[in-house]
Amino acid sequence: MLAELFKALGEPVRLRLFALLSNQGEICVCHLTDALELPQSTVSRHLSVLRHSGLVTARRDGKWMYYQPADDVPGELSALLVGSQAASIQVEQDIKRLKTSRGC
């Protein structure tokens, strides 16, 4: 189980996604694509890996998908990702873009 978590987070885009979700909570995929400046298909593929590893959960509201960290993810993992200096610089930039996102 632990190896799967680290494998899922071993890709920079998935690490950014998980750190952003850990920091901000539930977010629509359309806002995530704006924040990361990546195509929707790329973001959705990476979110699928995170969901299958048990790190995030998803819910559908009409045609939109919303993602959030899974309830059983250890808080220490989220704190480590959000608190690391390298990740926090990138996540801060992602958060700025998220706040100005046109989104859905």
Whether 47 maps to a domain, the answer reads yes
Whether 104 maps to a domain, the answer reads no
How high is the pLDDT of residue 84? 58
Q: Are 82 and 91 in contact (CB under 8 A)?
A: yes
Contact partners, residue 48, CB within 8 Å, separation at least 6: none
Q: What is the pLDDT of residues 31-81, one digit of tens each?
A: 999 999 999 999 999 999 999 999 999 999 999 999 999 998 776 666 666
Q: Answer with the residue of higher pLDDT: 91 or 25.
A: 25
Q: Answer with the residue of higher pLDDT: 84 or 47.
A: 47
Whether 68 maps to a domain, the answer reads yes
Q: How many domains does the chain have?
A: 1
How high is the pLDDT of residue 1? 67
Whether 67 maps to a domain, the answer reads yes
- Its domain, for residue 48, covers 2-99
CATH number of 70's domain: 1.10.10.10
How high is the pLDDT of residue 41? 95
Which amino acid would we find at residue 31? H
Whether 65 maps to a domain, the answer reads yes
